[in-house]
Chains A and B, each alone.
Chain A
Amino acid sequence: MNFEFSSDQMLLKDQARKFLEGEESLKKARDVLEGEASFDENLWKSIIEMGFTATTIPEEYDGLGLGYLELCVIAEELGRSLAPTPFSSSVYLATEAILRFGSDDQKRAYLPKLATGEIIGCFAHSESNTSPTEENISCSFDGSKLTGQKIVVSDGDVADFAIVSAKNGGSVGLCIVDLKSEGVEINTETTLDPSRSHASFNLNSSAEALEGTSWESIQELLDRAAVLFAFEQLGGAEACMDMAREYAMGRFAFGRPIASFQAIKHKIADMYIAVELARSNCYYGAWALSTDAPELSTAAATSRVSASQAYNECSKENIQAHGGMGFTWEFDCHLYYRRCRQLAANIGSQAVWKDKLISSLERANQI
Chain B
Amino acid sequence: MDFNDTTQEAEFRKEVFSWLSANAELKDGSKDSLPAMSEEDALVRAKEWQAKLYEGGWACLHWPQEYGGRGSTPIERVIWGQEVSKFKIPGGFFEIGQGMAGPVLMMYANEEQKKRFLPPMAKGEEIWCQLFSEPGAGSDLAGLKTKSVLEGDTWTINGQKIWTSGAHYSDYGILVTRSDPTVAKHKGLTYFFLDMKSPGVEVRPIKQISGGANFNEVYFTDVKIPDSQRLGEIGDGWKVALTTLMNERLAVGDASGPDFEEAFNLACGHDLNGSSAIKDGSVRDKLADWYCQQSGLKYTKYRNISALSRGETPGPQASITKIVSGNKLQEIANFGMDLMDANGIVRQDDPEYGMYQMGFFGAAGIRIAGGTDEILRNIISEQVLGLPQDMRADKGIPFNEIPTSNK
Which positions in A face B, CB cutoff 8 Å? Answer: 1-6, 69, 245, 248-249, 256-257, 259-260, 262, 264-266, 268-270, 272-273, 276-281, 283-284, 286-287, 290-291, 293, 301-302, 305-306, 309, 351, 353-355, 357-358, 361-362, 365
Contact = CB atoms under 8 A, between A and B. Distances in A.
B324 interface: yes
A68 B149 CA distance: 64
Contact of A280 (B79, B296, B382, B388): B296
A3 B305 contact: yes
Given A1-B302, A4-B303, A302 B1 contact: no
Contacts of B385: 245, 268-269, 272
Contacts of A293: 3
Given A276-B320, A277-B292, A351-B285, 15 more contacts: A1-B5, A1-B6, A3-B3, A4-B306, A262-B374, A262-B378, A265-B377, A269-B385, A273-B320, A273-B323, A277-B300, A305-B288, A309-B289, A354-B288, A365-B264
B303 A280 contact: yes
Which among B285, B374, B388 has the greatest number of chain A C-beta atoms within 10 A? B388
27 contacts: A1-B75, A2-B306, A3-B1, A3-B306, A4-B1, A69-B1, A245-B385, A245-B386, A257-B388, A265-B381, A269-B377, A270-B377, A272-B381, A273-B320, A276-B317, A277-B320, A277-B324, A283-B299, A284-B299, A287-B1, A290-B1, A291-B3, A305-B292, A309-B289, A309-B292, A355-B281, A355-B284
Contacts of A291: 3-4
A358 B278 contact: yes
Interface of B: 1-6, 9, 75, 78-79, 264, 268, 278, 281, 284-285, 287-289, 291-293, 295-300, 302-303, 305-307, 310, 317, 320, 323-324, 374, 377-378, 380-382, 384-391
Contact of B292 (A262, A265, A270, A302): A302
A2 B1 contact: yes
B278 A362 contact: yes
A265 B306 contact: no
Contact of B295 (A6, A69, A281, A365): A281
Report, nearest first, the 3 A-B pairs whose CB atoms are least far apart: A277-B296, A280-B299, A354-B288
Chain A, interface SS category = helix
Given A4-B306, A270-B377, A280 B1 contact: no
A210 to B, nearest CB: 30
Which among B3, B284, B305 has the greatest number of chain A C-beta atoms within 10 A? B3
A260 B278 CA distance: 44
Contacts of B296: 276-278, 280-281, 306
B380 to A, nearest CB: 4
Contacts of B377: 265-266, 269-270
A256 B284 CA distance: 45
Contacts of B291: 302, 357-358, 361
B11 to A, nearest CB: 13
A248 B1 contact: no
Nearest to B307: A4
A309 B295 CA distance: 14
B373 to A, nearest CB: 9
B180 to A, nearest CB: 30
A251 B292 CA distance: 34
Which among A5, A264, A353, A361 has the greatest number of chain B C-beta atoms within 10 A? A361
Contacts of A259: 387-388
B381 A2 contact: no
A306 B292 contact: yes
B4 A1 contact: yes
B306 A358 contact: no
B10 to A, nearest CB: 10
A74 to B, nearest CB: 15
A287 B337 CA distance: 36
A278 B303 CA distance: 13
A354 B284 contact: yes
Nearest to B389: A260
Contacts of B380: 269, 272-273
A302 B294 CA distance: 10
Contacts of B310: 4
Nearest to B382: A265
B1 A283 contact: yes
A262 B390 CA distance: 7
Nearest to A249: B387
A357 B288 contact: yes
Nearest to A1: B75
Nearest to B265: A365
Contacts of A6: 1
B303 A272 contact: no
A358 B3 contact: no
Which among A2, A257, A279, A306 has the greatest number of chain B C-beta atoms within 10 A? A2
